[in-house]
Amino acid sequence: MSEAAEQRTTVADMWFDPLCPWAWITSRWLVEVERVRPVTVRWRVMSLAVLNDGRDLPAEYQELMERSWEAVRVCTAAEQRFGPEVLGPLYTAIGTRFHNRAEAQDTATLRAAVAEAGLPEDLVEAGRSTEYDEDLRASHAEAMKLVGEDVGTPVVQVEDVSFFGPVLSPIPRGEEAGKLWDGVRLVAGTDGFFELKRTRNRNPVFD
């Protein structure tokens, strides 16, 4: 890629929690956007467990929050040990297993994802350690600083515009993904624009 082409490329940061199916769909939309627009996605980690810390949650959702720690810790450890460029392949390997294949959200699945991403197997040990929690919380706090505390994952930042979402199902493909990107940037970049929402009437579709 020429220097001029690189200068025209827009960087979009996306913060994700690997357990969130809606963030996974948004991430696959952004992968599509990279194919049809001069956009490069930079992957970042946030945590639903950190977001919901101290909140009164239903027992089933609280159990999900406890389970979510392992994957975000593994992702954070990977970023800290090997650099942010490993997060894209690792998130793809984890998300494909968790969501598309509906595999167990456990250590064995994470171990397989780590291996697919070309990372050392001992990385999964970070999932049950607090060693990288300070880094995880700092990354999460960076996302919340951009959009406020009353939203979740994903958070996207492009140039000087940040927003939660978009929440999608199914995944837009090809030029449809590009058109949505253009529209999201337009509305999110409008001064004073905060929210556009309707009730979700379908479950996540990963195909």
* Separation between Cα atoms, residue 165 and residue 163, nearest integer Å: 6
Sheet with strand 10-16: strands edge to edge? 39-45, 10-16, 155-158, 161-164
Checking if the pLDDT of 161 tops 70, the result is yes
The amino acid sitting at 9 is T
- Within 13 A of 40's CA, how many CA atoms are on the CB side? 10
Helices (H), 45-162: 48-51, 59-82, 87-95, 107-116, 133-147
- What pTM was estimated for this model as a whole? 0.92
Average pLDDT of the chain, as a whole number = 93
The whole-number pLDDT of residue 3 equals: 45
Mean pLDDT confidence for 109-119: 98
* Separation between Cα atoms, residue 120 and residue 125, nearest integer Å: 10
